[in-house]
Amino acid sequence: MRKFINRPQDFVTQSLEGMAAAHAGRIVVHLNPTFVRRADAPVKGKVALISGGGSGHEPMHAGFVGPGMLDAACPGQVFTSPTPDQMLEATRAVNGGAGVLNIVKNYSGDVMNFEMAAELAHAEGIRIANILIDDDAAVKDSLYTQGRRGTGTTVLAEKICGAAAERGYALDQVAALCRRVNLGGRSMGVALSSCTVPAKGSPTFALSENEMEFGIGIHGEAGRQRMDLRTADEIAEMLATSILDDPAYSRLTREWDAARGTWSEVELVSQPFQKGDALLAFVNGMGGTPLAELYVLYRKLDEVCSKRGYTIRRNLIGSFMTSLEMQGASITLLRLDSETIDLWDAPVHTPGLRWGA
């Protein structure tokens, strides 16, 4: 394994210990159960945001803990869901009295465990909201999900909702905003190589030098199609077109009804993109792809969007939601409005995303 690791079983903990040392005074890392929180949490009267999921996607999520984004993150082992006790402890630690929003990527393990944690927190009198991110236009169901997977829109939702919470939005308002961001975002990814989970020691799948996997998930799970490697322009156009041509998508989602203390099924519909939409374009590297190549993809994405009548109003380019050292990239497009543009621009101060005051 070409990796900077010690024992595979220590990888996640030691990486978090490195984060704690590097960002002391800004984040605090708890072990047993494991979670990362803002050093100044709980922030009294502010809605707290928690996310989490398997490790191996850094900086997501632990790298997004800080003012203007998450209050806590619960990292599981590599590509493995965190457990309800991690989430419950994080919830207790960051609840400032205004309630806690869980932002949950739609992977079965994450969903189940965040639901259990929500129920336990509710039983302790903590107000909870629980919003799923299921923005991946590649697949309807997958190996690890019922319905679409949660991918790039997660990062954008964490940033936008984090800013809203900072501004004093109430729990219901932050939850409604998160739901709206999810419904306005769509993603597609492509892998040029596999990645190696430390505990396994060999690549998750095999991909020859002249192949690519189109519609990949963030764990290396198969996508829509394996095909011959194309040029950057062709790939950018395929990704952009798949997203922009994605039709309306309707699903039944379980959301927590805090008033009734139970889960309720709600039907949510993502409307397709429409000419004239203002967009946030997020070109994300999967961990082993150089930044210079992401800009080559962005160049074509910008051209495709412009030709089709969309305006990219904001962009984010870099490796923010990775799959270990996978060579690959994903594109997320998010419909913006004046409120979400303003929240996007608001200050954020985390290890992984930082701007403004």
Both tokens of residue 19?
């984060």
Instruction: For residue 228, state whether it binds a second copy (rule: CB under 8 A).
Output: no
Instruction: For residue 80, state whether it binds a second copy (rule: CB under 8 A).
Output: no
Instruction: For residue 311, state whether it binds a second copy (rule: CB under 8 A).
Output: no
Residue in this structure with the two tokens 């967009």, named with its chain if needed: 279
**In Å, how far from its chain's centre is CA 316?**
13
57 is catalytic: yes
Q: How far is the CB of 9 from a second copy (least distance, A)?
A: 13
Give strand pairing partners of 302.
none
Instruction: For residue 140, state whether it binds a second copy (rule: CB under 8 A).
Output: no
- Asked whether the beta carbons of 204 and 54 are under 8 A apart, the reply is no
Both tokens of residue 234?
């062709």
Q: Which of 57, 61, 122, 349 is catalytic?
A: 57
CA dist., res. 105 & res. 94, Å (int)? 20
Q: How far is the CB of 33 from a second copy (least distance, A)?
A: 19
**How crowded is residue 93: how many other Cβ atoms within 10 Å of its Cβ?**
18
CA dist., res. 140 & res. 134, Å (int)? 10
Both tokens of residue 71?
């209050």
Which range of residues in 37-45, 151-159, 214-222, 320-328 is near a second copy by CB under 8 A? 320-328
Nearer to a second copy by Cβ, of 119 and 302: the residue is 302
Which range of residues in 40-48, 172-180, 224-232, 266-274 is near a second copy by CB under 8 A? 224-232
Strand order in the sheet with 328-335: 225-228, 211-214, 185-191, 328-335, 278-285, 311-318
CA dist., res. 302 & res. 345, Å (int)? 20
Nearer to a second copy by Cβ, of 21 and 269: the residue is 21
Q: Identify residues 87-126 at the interface with a second copy (CB under 8 A).
A: none
Q: What is the DSSP string of 214-236?
A: ET--TTS---SEEEE---HHHHH
Closest C-alpha to 31, from 86, 93, 87, 109: 86
- Asked whether the beta carbons of 47 and 169 are under 8 A apart, the reply is yes
219 is catalytic: yes
Of these, 168, 261, 309, 356, which contacts a second copy (CB under 8 A)?
356
Q: How far is the CB of 102 from a second copy (least distance, A)?
A: 23
Nearer to a second copy by Cβ, of 42 and 352: the residue is 352
Q: How far is the CB of 303 from a second copy (least distance, A)?
A: 8
Residue in this structure with the two tokens 């394994």, named with its chain if needed: 1
The site map against a second copy for 251-290 (x = CB under 8 A) is: ------------------------------------xxxx
Q: How far is the CB of 171 from a second copy (least distance, A)?
A: 30
Instruction: For residue 17, state whether it binds a second copy (rule: CB under 8 A).
Output: yes
Indicate which residues carry an active-site annotation. Answer: 57, 219
Residues that bind a second copy (CB under 8 A): 1-6, 11-12, 14-19, 21-22, 55-56, 58-59, 63, 192-193, 209, 229, 231-233, 235-236, 287-299, 302, 315, 317, 319, 322, 324-325, 327, 329, 351-352, 354-357
